[in-house]
Amino acid sequence: MDAAVPLPHFFRPIRLPRVGSTSDEAKRLAALAAEEGTLVWADEQTEGHGRLGRTWISPSGNLYFSILLRPAAPVANAMQLTFATAIALADVVAAVLPATSRVGCKWPNDVLVDGKKVSGILLESQANADGLVDSLVVGIGVNIVSHPPPETVMYEATSLHAEGAGGETAASLLQRFCPVFLTWYETWRRQGFDPIRAAWLGRAEKLHQPVEVRLDVGSVAGVFVGLDTNGAMLLQQGDRRRVILAGDVFPATT
């Protein structure tokens, strides 16, 4: 790690010029008993991925890193940390952009600037025999200097430089992010999901608006009315309230 990038003691950084995926590397280290706080940061990824094995486009100049956590929590609750991570990122992104930028959180795992995706988050957990978390890897990609063109992504992308934060680098953003993340992680450990959910809803994109959620198979439409106690999306369809566990949210088409 650069001496120029001091991080709180919690973090145990490992910097690589290039790797397949920082999350795959963090999972490999987790299996070798690496400690909580291990942080794998790469300048470039050759096999960066998102949910469902989708590609995360990862040229050099942007930020790619993964944090290994070992919270003493049921694995079912661990996904709540997606929201803690998104709030921390949104706080940091908002702090470096012009005050006129609208920084929002899109369910479940994106940070948007004026409706465009600047960052993606991927949580991958491993449970022990009791259903508790053995390891949890939080993978984060932030577009700093460049972003993919519209024809290559399913949701319009942007970068910090494109949005007016031309002075930021991968290192400077990582340095800003780590202490903020740690504060939210501590809040979650001490107080549970409620404060995280409230903060996330305060930045939620499309809350109380009609949306279309594309599922594994097919899609559903409704009004996005909130999050349940584990972070699932609550979708109101007339008198019926549906709980959506996974999907991709788009503005309603009708």
Residues that bind ligand BT5 (CB under 6 A): 21-23, 45, 48-51, 54-57, 64-66, 109-110, 117, 120-122, 139-141, 143, 147-148, 153-154, 157
Nearer to ligand BT5, 49 or 176 (CB): 49
Q: How far is the CB of 105 from ligand BT5 (least distance, A)?
A: 12
**250 forms bridges with which residues in the sheet?**
212
Supply the minimum distance, in Å, between the C-beta of residue 129 and ligand BT5.
Answer: 27
For the CB of residue 23, give the shortest distance to ligand BT5 in the complex, in Å.
4
72: Cβ contacts below 8 Å, ≥ 6 apart: 132, 133
Closest to ligand BT5 by CB, 126 or 236: 126
Closest of 10, 11, 13 to residue 2, by C-alpha = 13
Going across the sheet that includes 233-237, the strands are 240-244, 233-237, 219-227, 210-214, 248-251
Structure tokens at 244: 């959506």
Instruction: Between 10 and 155, name the residue whose CB sits nearer to ligand BT5.
Output: 155
Which of 45/80 has CB closer to ligand BT5? 45
What's the rounded Cα separation, in Å, for the pair 25 and 42? 10
CB of 20 to ligand BT5, least distance (A): 8
